[in-house]
């Protein structure tokens, strides 16, 4: 039974209660602290304060934990409450006192050491007042939000009155004092008590850093530290010598670079931005869903955290920072392109934690050195970071090939001056409608990218009048840098720490790190209704399906995701097929056409182009199923072993493009499991020996379902065949990699015009570039002494295998186009631009 607090304390609690609204972390602290097992419970607070004690009493009651007074009579402590304070709060107008050893902790330590069988469980509790404002917050309350300053009683009272409704109480796992005494040899020495105090202070510092961010100095202090670093001083001297500049002028240039780069983080500005964004998200979105956040919260303390989200919209910056802040974690410093450093906006972003970098450092050694040192200073101070390793926003909905620059600099900083283990946190962000959707489609169709400007931002305000559905933010499995280096480069701990001496293993390690991050982003995908509608409707020539067929196709896709889960972090919409269709109509992605023989659901050409983005978000989840279904597009019967063998051959190219979680063997096993799934659901039949798989006639419902699944991957195989056909038709020693890439791009673009392919990424140059690179890595092709691509007869065999997947019409069309394009280019047709304008997306 909970022991009641003294009457005066109960009265103060009653007076304080209307001003408090507590958020407990975790939401059910008893699952972390455990049930009352008879041991006295003593709470540990970071600082002394009556208000903190009252808040603790309220929080313990709300969590069903022992009251802070329950164990006081059974323990040798002088206070009426069983609470340990690591430091005292200053008097009303006094200065902070220096932390001292807690007498209560010393008494408890001695009691356990001298009493056989006695034990006390210590429960550390962190309290933050004014951490997450909501729409009821006032602007004045921003001035009294939680920070690193040890404030007096009067300021704490104002903070409670203004921000008490935004109070976070975070419980930690209990610590057994008996275990600590036994580890100290059973003696209550002064040294043991001081050591325990230091450990508790470190714990509270870690939690405070995780919740409100590290204790940052003024921007000028960080800039001065950068300029005084040895590598920067050497770079300044080298620049002055090389360009014949006075030392002062070279130093000023370095300072200008540092001021251009550096963030100017401000707690009040961050809190004000959170206040503003509450209404912004409510206006634009129908909700923000968050998955697997608790696993992140448990990992953050004690780690240098680097958030690495996929990059799909400018909204990504604001959304992730807002979510972290609202849920009690520190806002990271974000690497932003210098194109966003606009007047006024750039200053605001800086105070929100943004630091700016140029698109390229090439040819500017001084800027590169300053930026690297600034990143190292953030690292040394334990500042959480966020950057996008794709380098820019994805225009296709797929993850882009990684750019290793920031990862490489992070690795160098870790080796040189990191004091804590580094954790990369992959983040999947899924939208149901994009603000930049039409802009992306236009860019892929040939329109130039619009440069960021205030005029462009003002023109874009019209998008704020639309509704964009829900957003999902899913935190993937973290990547621990030290563990990955142990796998990839076991010798890394013995490497010399020299930023100018890049070890041989660094390049492969960075590549492995980038791939692991992107794979883990994909492994945490959230499948929303728009993803499933896009997958189904875009598989038909006219982007229309009878309602009964659409219901069946949506049901099949959901069954695939549930019965053959891609990973334990993939989440799938709870809506049934009928509700998914209704939601698509509500979001105006699809329209219903009434008909006496049954309604038809369809999307227009413009919507189809935009929906391809959302199909591509989840394409990797259906890769194995799509491969199997593709094999039955032009074949009624196939041997099970052939399906697996050909799947393993194509696996490296699919994995490279879609960042699949499976290696070659796992992909083969996935194909086997998919064949069993299709057989269970009567989409394929198995002969008596279990060796031959067959599908129904081409006009049957089962064949129709398989075609719907196959289409999501079919265009990838068409792209592969375009490259292979171009190589084979032109022969070895004929094309460079660049010429092949351009020839493939033009062929695919013309093919899309002839066959009305409503998927702009079909002729995306980067996809062809990645495929050609993978061919070279696999030694299917190689470069001769003249820079031309060479290959042997094995490539022709690979090209012949395409007949398993592609129809004769498509294969002949590609062969004719590759031959005609080569002839046209040979006659002097400009290679850099297509001979026919690309079909633009409708506006």
CATH number of the domain enclosing 610: 1.10.10.10
The answer as to whether 622 is a domain residue is: no
pLDDT of residue 840: 32
Pair 550, 671 in one domain: no
State the pLDDT at residue 537: 94
Q: By three-state DSSP, how is residue 574 classified?
A: coil
Which residues, 6 or more positions from 220, have their beta carbon under 8 angstroms from its beta carbon? none
The tokens for 509 are: 């390690």
In a domain, 625, yes or no: no
Most confidently modeled range among 94-98, 283-287, 329-333, 463-467: 329-333
What does the pLDDT look like over 597-620, one tens digit per residue?
Answer: 889 999 988 888 889 899 999 999
Boundary (domain end) residue, out of 566, 585, 617: 617
Q: Phi/psi of residue 519, each to 5°?
A: -60, -40
Q: Write out the two tokens for 227.
A: 């300029």
8-state DSSP, 115: S
Q: CA–CA separation, 177 vs 108, rounded Å?
A: 8
Distance between CA atoms of 319 and 723, rounded to whole angstroms?
39
CA gap 19, 54 in Å, rounded: 12
- Same domain (yes/no): 434, 563: no
126 is a domain residue: yes
For residue 606, what are the domain limits? Answer: 525-617
The per-residue pLDDT for 822 is: 56
More reliable by pLDDT, 416 or 693: 693
| Residue 623 resides in a domain | no
In a domain, 629, yes or no: no
Q: CA 498: distance to chain centroid?
A: 30
As a whole number of angstroms, the distance between CA 592 and CA 601 comes to 5
Q: 456-493 in b/e burial notation, b at 16+ Cβ within 10 A?
A: eeeeeeebeeeebbbbbbbbbbbbebeebbeebbeebe
> Do 646 and 575 belong together in one domain?
no
Does 417 lie in the same domain as 542? no
Q: Is residue 279 part of a domain?
A: no
Tokens 């807690």 belong to residue: 102
Strand-pair category, 175-176 with 121-129: antiparallel
Q: So what's the pLDDT on residue 282?
A: 75
Q: What is the CATH number of the domain that holds 228?
A: 3.40.1130
Q: What is the mean pLDDT of residues 429-434?
A: 93
Query: In this model, does residue 133 exceed pLDDT 50?
Result: no
**CA–CA gap between residue 701 and residue 703 (Å, rounded):** 5
- On whether residue 631 sits in a domain, the answer given is no
Mean pLDDT (whole number) for 640-644: 92
**What is the count of structural domains for the chain?**
4
More confident residue, 220 or 235: 235
Q: Tell me, yes or no, whether 670 lies in a domain.
A: yes
Q: Are residues 108 and 58 in the same domain?
A: yes
Structure tokens at 839: 């079909």
**Dist. CA 561–CA 714, nearest whole Å:** 20
Res 627: pLDDT = 93
- The H-or-E segment that residue 455 falls in is helix 454-459
Query: Do both 559 and 417 map to the same domain?
Result: no
C-alpha Rg value of the chain to the nearest Å: 31
Helices and strands (DSSP H and E) totals, the chain: 32, 24
Buried b / exposed e along 495-525 (16+ C-beta atoms within 10 A) = beeebeeebebbeebbebbbebbbbbbbbbb
Q: Are 90 and 125 in contact (CB under 8 A)?
A: no
Q: What per-residue string of b and e applies to 664-702 under the rule 16 or more CB within 10 Å gives b?
A: eeebbebbbebbebbeeeebbeeeeeeeebebbeeeeeb
Angle at Cα 352 formed by Cα 255 and Cα 336, nearest 5°? 65
Residue 842 pLDDT = 33
The answer to whether 271 touches 133, Cβ cutoff 8 Å, is yes
Confidence of residue 101 (pLDDT cuts 50, 70, 90): low
Q: Which of 167, 196, 212 is the last residue of a domain?
A: 212
Q: Would strands 422-431 and 471-475 be described as parallel, antiparallel, or unpaired?
A: antiparallel
Do 684 and 815 belong to one domain? yes
Q: What angle do CA 246, 247, 252 make, to 5 degrees?
A: 100
Widest pairwise Cα distance in the chain: 98
Same domain? 51 vs 174: yes
225 and 203 belong to one structural domain = no
162 and 267 belong to one structural domain: no
Q: pLDDT value at position 145?
A: 52
Same-domain pairing of 518 and 530: no
Residue 840 zone, left/alpha/beta (φ > 0; ψ -120 to 50; rest) = beta
Q: Which one, of 719, 705, 638, lies nearest residue 671 by Cα?
A: 638
Residue 193 has pLDDT above 50, yes or no: yes
Domain end position, chosen among 212, 229, 248? 212
State the SS3 of 478-528.
Answer: CEEHHHHHHHHCCCHHHCCCCCCCCCCCHHHHHHHHHHHHHHHHHCCCEEC
Average the pLDDT over 350-361 and give the result.
87
Query: 259 and 238, same structural domain?
Result: yes
Please give the model's pTM, rounded to 2 decimal places.
0.76
Predicted pLDDT at 5: 60
Q: Is 238 exposed, middle or buried (0-12, 13-18, 19+ CB in 10 A)?
A: middle
CA-CA distance, 718 to 657, in Å (whole number)? 14
Binning pLDDT at 50, 70 and 90, where does residue 6 land?
low
Confidence category of residue 569, pLDDT binned at 50, 70, 90: very high
Q: Is the pLDDT of residue 347 over 50?
A: yes
Q: How far is CA 502 from CA 130, 411, 412, 496, 606, in A?
A: 45, 10, 8, 9, 49
Give me the pLDDT at residue 100, please: 56
């Amino acid at each position: 039974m909970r022991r009641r607090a003294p009457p005066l304390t109960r009265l103060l609690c009653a007076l304080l209660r209307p001003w408090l609204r507590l958020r407990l972390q975790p939401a059910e602290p008893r699952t972390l602290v455990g049930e009352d097992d008879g041991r006295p419970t003593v709470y540990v607070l970071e600082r002394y304060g009556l208000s903190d004690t009252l808040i603790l009493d309220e929080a313990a009651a709300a969590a069903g934990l022992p009251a802070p007074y329950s164990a006081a009579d059974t323990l040798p402590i002088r206070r009426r409450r069983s609470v340990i304070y690591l430091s005292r709060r200053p008097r009303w107008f006094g200065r902070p006192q220096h932390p001292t050893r807690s007498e209560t902790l010393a008494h408890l330590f001695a009691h356990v050491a001298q009493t056989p069988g006695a034990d006390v469980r210590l429960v550390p509790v962190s309290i933050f007042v004014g951490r997450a404002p909501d729409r009821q917050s006032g602007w004045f309350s921003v001035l009294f939000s939680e920070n690193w300053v040890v404030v007096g009683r009067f300021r704490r009272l104002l903070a409670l009155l203004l921000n008490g409704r935004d109070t976070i109480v975070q419980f930690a796992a209990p610590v057994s004092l008996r275990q600590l005494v036994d580890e100290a040899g059973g003696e209550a020495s002064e040294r043991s008590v001081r050591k325990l105090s230091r450990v508790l202070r470190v714990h509270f510092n870690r939690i405070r850093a995780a919740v409100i961010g590290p204790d940052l100095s003024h921007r000028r202090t960080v800039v001065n530290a950068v300029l005084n670093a040895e590598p920067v001083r050497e770079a300044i001297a080298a620049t002055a010598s090389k360009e014949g500049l006075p030392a002062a002028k070279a130093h000023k240039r370095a300072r200008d670079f540092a001021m251009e780069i550096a963030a100017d983080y401000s707690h009040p500005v961050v809190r004000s931005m959170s206040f503003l964004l509450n209404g912004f998200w409510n206006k634009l979105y129908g909700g923000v869903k968050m998955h697997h956040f608790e696993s992140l919260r448990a990992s953050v303390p004690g780690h240098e955290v680097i958030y690495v989200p996929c990059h799909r919209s400018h909204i990504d910056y604001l959304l992730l920072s807002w979510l972290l802040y609202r849920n009690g974690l520190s806002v990271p410093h974000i690497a932003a392109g210098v194109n966003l450093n606009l007047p006024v906006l750039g200053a605001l972003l800086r105070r929100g934690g943004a630091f700016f970098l140029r698109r390229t450092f090439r040819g500017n050694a001084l800027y590169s050195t300053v930026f690297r040192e600034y990143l190292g200073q953030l690292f040394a101070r334990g500042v959480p970071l966020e950057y996008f390793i794709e380098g820019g926003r994805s225009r296709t909905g797929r993850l882009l090939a990684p750019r290793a620059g920031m990862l490489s600099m992070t690795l160098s900083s870790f080796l040189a001056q990191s004091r804590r283990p580094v954790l990369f946190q992959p983040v999947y962000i899924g939208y149901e409608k994009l603000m930049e959707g039409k802009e992306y489609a236009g860019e892929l169709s040939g329109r130039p990218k619009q440069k960021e400007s205030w005029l462009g931002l003002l023109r874009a305000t019209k998008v704020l009048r639309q509704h964009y559905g829900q957003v999902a933010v899913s935190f993937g499995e973290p990547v621990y840098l030290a563990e990955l280096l142990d796998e990839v480069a076991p010798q890394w701990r013995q490497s010399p720490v020299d930023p100018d001496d890049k070890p041989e293993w660094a390049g492969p390690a960075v590549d492995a790190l980038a791939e692991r991050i992107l794979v883990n982003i994909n492994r945490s995908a959230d499948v929303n209704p728009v993803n499933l509608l896009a997958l189904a409707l875009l598989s038909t020539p006219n982007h229309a399906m009878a309602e009964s067929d659409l219901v069946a196709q949506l049901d099949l896709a959901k069954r695939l995701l549930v019965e053959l889960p891609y990973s334990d972090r993939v989440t799938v919409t709870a809506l049934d097929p009928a509700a998914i269709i209704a939601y698509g109509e509500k979001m105006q992605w699809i329209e219903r056409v009434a008909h006496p023989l049954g309604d038809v659901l369809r999307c227009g050409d413009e919507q189809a182009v935009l929906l391809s983005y959302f199909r591509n978000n989840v394409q990797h989840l259906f890769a194995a199923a799509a491969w199997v279904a593709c094999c039955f597009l032009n074949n009624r019967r196939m041997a099970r072993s052939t399906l697996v063998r050909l799947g393993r051959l194509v696996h490296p190219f699919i994995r490279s493009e879609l960042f699949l979680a499976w290696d070659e063997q796992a992909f083969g096993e996935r194909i086997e499991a998919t064949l069993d799934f299709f057989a269970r659901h009567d989409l394929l039949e198995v002969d008596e020996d279990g060796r031959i798989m067959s599908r129904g006639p081409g006009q049957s419902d089962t064949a129709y379902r398989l075609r719907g699944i196959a289409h999501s991957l079919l265009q990838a195989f068409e792209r592969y065949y375009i490259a292979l056909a171009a190589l084979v038709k032109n022969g070895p020693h004929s094309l460079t990699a660049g010429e092949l890439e351009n020839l493939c791009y033009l062929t695919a673009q013309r093919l899309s015009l002839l066959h009305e392919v409503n998927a702009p990424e079909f002729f995306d140059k980067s996809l062809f570039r990645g495929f050609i690179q993978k061919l070279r890595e696999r030694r299917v092709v190689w470069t001769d002494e003249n820079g031309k691509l060479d290959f042997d007869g094995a490539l022709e065999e690979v090209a012949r295998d395409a007949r398993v997947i592609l129809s004769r019409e498509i294969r002949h069309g590609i062969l004719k186009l590759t031959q005609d394009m080569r002839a046209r280019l040979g006659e002097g047709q400009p290679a850099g631009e297509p001979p026919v304008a690309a079909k633009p997306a409708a506006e």
